[in-house]
Amino acid sequence: IFVIEVPHFLHLIKYLEYDTIYHEHLSYISVIPLISFLKKFNLEIVDIKQRDIHGGSIRIFISGINNYKVKKSVTKICEMENRAKLNSKKVLINFQKKVIKNRIKLTALLTKLKKDRKKVIILSAPAKGMTLLNYCKIDKDFVEYATEKSSIKQNLYTPGGNIPVYSDDKILKSKPDYALLLAWNFSKEIINNNIQYLKKGGKFIIPIPNIKIISYKKNEKNKN
């Protein structure tokens, strides 16, 4: 048996995870075409486990044909993919429309906050966040700076938008009104780590799959 773990294309489509499409990700895996591919080499998928990491991943167990009994999890995932019609052109076009709509809503929100003279920064600077920033054309006109926990990214600039990146400590010192959270798949962990920012009146903007504004006082989750 050998095992691979990859982000699931089904989740990318279903939850509008377009920011995960960038140069380090050379393939976007779904199970049904993978089954056909493996058959060419006398291999088959014998088990699949779903995981939450990276916005929804699948751990796939592969072996020689007839070496092991194929578990129900494989059929279950295939049924999910068939229901989602991942190979349908209509589904992909609809995904495209939703991506464009997300960009329009996010930039409209940031434009309004700028007009209202609100201070907006970016909290966390993952690689996929750069896809979102550049696609939505978010630069220093919209946000003042970005913060990042990893020291290797600090005191540098985001590619394309040239937004300066500092330590996460800066968020409590500068007290921005809003923080755009690019690592949305770790939102619970990041928000818990920055709960003092919320308690002092700060708000988080989560951009994907639906734009949400999260604050501490009202425990609000405003969807746009």
Torsion of CA 157, 161, 167, 171, to 10 degrees: 160
At residue 24 the predicted structure's pLDDT band, cuts being 50, 70 and 90, is confident
In the chain, domain spans: 2-87, 99-223
**Is residue 209 reached through a cis peptide bond, with omega within 30 degrees of 0 on the bond before it?**
yes
**Residue 209 pLDDT > 90, yes or no?**
yes
Q: Phi and psi (nearest 5°) for 171?
A: -65, -35
Q: What is the pLDDT of residue 218?
A: 53
Q: Which residues of 85-123 are buried (b: 16+ CB within 10 A; e: fewer)?
A: ebeeeeeeeebeeebeebbeebeebbeebeeeeebbbbb
Alpha-carbon span 185 to 73, nearest angstrom: 24
Residue 29 one-letter amino acid: I
112-143 confidence digits (pLDDT tens)? 999 999 999 999 999 999 999 999 999 999 99
Q: What is the pLDDT of residue 54?
A: 72
Residue 61 one-letter amino acid: F
26-62 confidence digits (pLDDT tens)? 788 999 999 999 999 999 999 999 988 777 899 999 9
Q: Which CATH superfamily is domain 2-87 in?
A: Vaccinia Virus protein VP39 (3.40.50.150)
- Which architecture, in CATH terms, is 99-223? 3-Layer(aba) Sandwich (3.40)
The rounded mean pLDDT for the chain is 92
CB 140 within 8 A of CB 157: no
Query: Measuring CA to CA, how many Å separate 49 from each of 28, 134, 169, 191?
Result: 17, 33, 37, 27
Residue positions counted in the chain: 224
Average pLDDT over residues 189-200: 91
Fold match, 2-87 / 99-223: yes
Q: What is the pLDDT of residue 162?
A: 93
Q: 102-106, 111-115, 179-183, 191-195 — which is least confidently predicted?
A: 191-195
CB 47 within 8 A of CB 61: yes
**Residue 219 pLDDT > 80, yes or no?**
no
Q: What is the pTM of this model?
A: 0.87
**Residue 222 pLDDT > 80, yes or no?**
no
CA angle 5, 206, 204 (to 5 degrees): 130
Instruction: Name the nearest CA neighbour of 119 among 199, 177, 168, 181.
Output: 177
Hunting for tokens 């604050």 — which residue is that? Answer: 215
Q: What is the pLDDT of residue 110?
A: 97
Average pLDDT over residues 79-86: 95
